[in-house]
A and B are shown apart, each in its own frame.
Chain A
């Protein structure tokens, strides 16, 4: 099958790629744009390593075809990181030692970005639900949850919001 052009917003900038219909979004950003922060683990929707944001919501990059991105806004881990230094979530993950091998980390960061965008002060249950589709084989998840809780705590202090009742 011949390649076709697909145009979408990638990390805030317009992008046009020539892709085969069978190419997944995760493969396309890695192979055509060299954005290899989007990791591919299982390639069938189980592990969450390929998580990207679609209009702000975490989705599986391996379960969306690149051609389907036409006109949509995609954010990869490269777009969720500041040009220098670390994002708030990345910084919290570093401080809490929330990664060892780092393979799941881009997906974890984006799953949490999506959570915090909707829920600035999530409780532990919200956090565990948000990362429930992301496998980590190193940390046992506790440091990741602790990192996310520390971000929630910081947001709560900044917003002066009450602690969640849950």
Chain B
């Protein structure tokens, strides 16, 4: 349970961090360390060099500018959870964070670290997809932007290339109301099934919807057909029945001793119903 030896550098700028990451073939960036340090302890990760991002001030902070909320990748989960501007701008992110770990892990864990780690059962990737977030990536060739839906590729696999760093997340103002629900063994554990639901209703019509399942496959699953039904038929009880009938249950591949694939398939419709209803119940007309 002790990590294998590695070297350690703590640069203070993104440029220096990129240089260091480029200098070693198996260098790894470390953010809050809440997933990477256990992997080091189990020796599932054995980097030769750890590049600590905790000393880079430009990677932390929450800023709203021109209708876009930019959250630095190293912003602590606890900071985001307690942020009034995030609550106003992207309540779904706060709802998701309430399910992420515990106060001590959220005090160190970062918003970008969880996304870059891309655990298939983590809450934040689903929230980012449901919010249509933009992931801002820095590399030796400059910055590039990737939609969340294209960023998350598979289990622990993202669009980040070796030597690149996730520097920020950008969020447009959330359209509609939302809820994030999950079934987990204990509060704070990874989800067996998670649901991020977002519904935008205007003049009785559903103008936008997102329904994203997590914990069931290699990556979060966007329920395209269910979203289409919501948008076509509105968020009525009858439409919700149709939505639940159109969920991609065949996308469930996660099958473990603690939760079989069949169990997860049984959980999904009820959890989706509750999430959509909870989102609609939270509707406050501005």
Contact = CB atoms under 8 A, between A and B. Distances in A.
Interface stretch (B32-40, B119-127, B197-205, B259-267): B32-40
Interface in A80-115: 111, 114-115
B105 to A, nearest CB: 6
Contacts of A144: none
A21 B50 contact: yes
Nearest to A24: B37
Contacts of A24: 37
A72 B1 CA distance: 25
B105 A70 contact: no
A102 to B, nearest CB: 19
Given A22-B40, A59-B108, A133 B101 contact: yes
Given A44-B38, A65-B37, A68-B52, A59 B107 contact: yes
Contacts of B33: 63-65, 68
A1 B7 contact: yes
A21 B48 CA distance: 11
A30 to B, nearest CB: 13
A51 interface: yes
B145 interface: no
Given A45-B34, A63-B108, A64-B33, A22 B103 contact: no
Nearest to A42: B1
B103 A111 contact: yes
Contact of A45 (B37, B50, B78): B37
A14 B4 CA distance: 29
A22 B3 contact: yes
Contacts, number: 94
Interface in B1-27: 1-8, 10
Q: With a 10 A CB-CB cut-off, give which of B8, B102, B103 has the most chain A CB atoms.
A: B103
B41 interface: yes
B205 to A, nearest CB: 36
Contacts of B4: 22
Given A1-B7, A57-B78, A133 B104 contact: yes
B2 A45 contact: no
Interface residues of A, number: 32
Interface in B124-168: none
A63 B6 contact: no
Contact of A111 (B37, B41, B104): B104
A141 to B, nearest CB: 12
Interface in A1-29: 1, 4, 20-22, 24, 27
B187 interface: yes
B7 A21 contact: yes
Given A58-B107, A67-B52, 13 more contacts: A21-B5, A22-B2, A22-B6, A44-B1, A48-B104, A54-B107, A57-B103, A62-B41, A63-B38, A63-B108, A65-B8, A130-B103, A133-B103
26 contacts: A1-B7, A1-B8, A21-B5, A21-B8, A22-B2, A22-B6, A43-B2, A44-B1, A45-B34, A57-B104, A58-B103, A60-B34, A62-B37, A63-B34, A67-B52, A68-B10, A70-B10, A114-B104, A129-B103, A129-B187, A132-B102, A132-B103, A132-B186, A132-B187, A133-B102, A133-B188
Interface of B: 1-8, 10, 33-34, 37-38, 40-42, 50, 52, 54, 78, 101-105, 107-108, 186-188
Interface of A: 1, 4, 20-22, 24, 27, 43-45, 48, 51, 54, 57-60, 62-65, 67-68, 70, 111, 114-115, 129-130, 132-134
